[in-house]
């Protein structure tokens, strides 16, 4: 039985912004606006106490003004209640999309209604001040069981690259507003129990990590801790007894035990070990 009776090509896209980079926001909006084959509405959450500094009159946008900074998870919870299409996206400010990305994902999801989350291969860049350099492509895992195994120890999806089937999303009550960071891995761990997760093999998305103003050590520790807590809560006992999870838990525990003032090189060494052994 079909879970989504709509056969049109309408798509809602959630973007949350703290209103600190108008250029990146405009680039993302223009990239989305160039998409082919779909009718898009952008749900833009302004998570700040100031007005959006971008002229958005040429875009199909619904603005949600928080009036102050309430954080990403609570902003996402606000936005999800405004989604009116059977499938939707969440995209980060600064991300760029291929013109065919949304129609390719929409077609694939409608072709297999057992898929709840569909990502795509993402080109990853690193930007240091005005210099932007290609870093790598995100993982391509085309086997569902392998993808689930990856979730035990790492996040194989770039959250800005995913399209979500709202039926399954609602089935697990969407984002958990008590999870303030790493809310994406928390969602994947819950939703995988009711549907499949997949990745399209095409490079259809671009995400840039910024060295300047990047995530702080405190926030990074919070994210690592939150992801570990979600895995401890939602992985089965059998999954937690596997070698990959034990390796992940030990190395993650070492990361969390190192105080913020400790030698940064040692912290990077542990991160490198984790990357090599549990990738």
pLDDT digits (tens, 9 = 90+) for 90-129: 999 999 999 999 999 999 999 999 999 999 999 988 877 6
Q: Write out pLDDT tens, residues 238-279.
A: 999 999 899 899 888 887 876 654 445 555 555 555 544 444
pLDDT of 5 above 80: no
Q: Is this prediction's pTM over 0.75?
A: yes
Residue with more model confidence, 240 or 21: 240
The rounded distance, in Å, linking the Cα atoms of 12 and 251 is 39
pLDDT of 211 above 70: no
Q: Write out pLDDT tens, residues 9-19.
A: 899 999 999 87
Residue bearing tokens 């005005």: 130
The fraction of the chain above a pLDDT of 70, given in percent, is 82
- pLDDT category at 84 given cuts 50, 70, 90 is very high
pLDDT of 151 above 80: yes
User: What are the φ/ψ torsions at residue 213 (nearest 5 degrees)?
Assistant: 70, 25
The rounded distance, in Å, linking the Cα atoms of 56 and 29 is 8
Residue 226's pLDDT is what? 94
**Please, what is the average pLDDT of the chain?**
85
pLDDT of 2 above 50: no
Residue 146's pLDDT is what? 80
Distances, alpha carbon 222 to alpha carbons 25, 175, 182, 265, in Å: 26, 17, 8, 19
- pLDDT category at 194 given cuts 50, 70, 90 is very high
Residue 126's pLDDT is what? 82
């Amino acid at each position: 039985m079909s879970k989504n009776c709509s056969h049109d090509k309408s798509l809602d896209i959630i973007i949350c912004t703290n209103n600190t980079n108008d250029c990146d926001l405009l680039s993302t909006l223009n990239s989305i606006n160039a998409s082919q084959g779909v009718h898009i509405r952008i749900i833009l959450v302004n998570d700040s106490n100031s007005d959006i500094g971008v002229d958005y009159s040429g875009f199909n946008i619904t603005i949600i003004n928080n009036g102050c900074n309430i954080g990403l998870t609570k902003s996402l919870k606000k936005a999800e209640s405004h989604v009116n299409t059977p499938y939707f996206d969440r995209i980060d400010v600064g991300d760029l999309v291929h013109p065919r990305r949304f129609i390719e994902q929409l077609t694939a999801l409608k072709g297999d209604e057992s898929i709840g989350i569909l990502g795509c291969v993402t080109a990853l860049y690193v930007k240091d001040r005005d210099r932007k350099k290609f870093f790598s492509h995100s993982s391509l895992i085309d086997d569902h069981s392998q993808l689930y195994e990856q979730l035990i120890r790492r996040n194989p999806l770039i959250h800005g690259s995913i399209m979500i089937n709202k039926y399954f999303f609602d089935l697990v009550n969407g984002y958990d507003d008590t999870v303030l960071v790493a809310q994406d891995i928390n969602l994947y761990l819950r939703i995988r129990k009711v549907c499949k997760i997949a990745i399209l093999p095409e490079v259809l998305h671009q995400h840039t990590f910024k060295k300047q103003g990047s995530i702080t050590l405190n926030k990074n520790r919070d994210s690592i801790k939150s992801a570990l807590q979600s895995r401890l809560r939602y992985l089965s006992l059998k999954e937690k007894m596997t070698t990959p999870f034990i390796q992940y838990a030990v190395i993650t525990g070492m990361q969390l035990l190192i105080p913020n003032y400790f030698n940064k090189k040692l912290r990077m060494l542990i991160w490198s070990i984790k990357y090599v052994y549990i990738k």
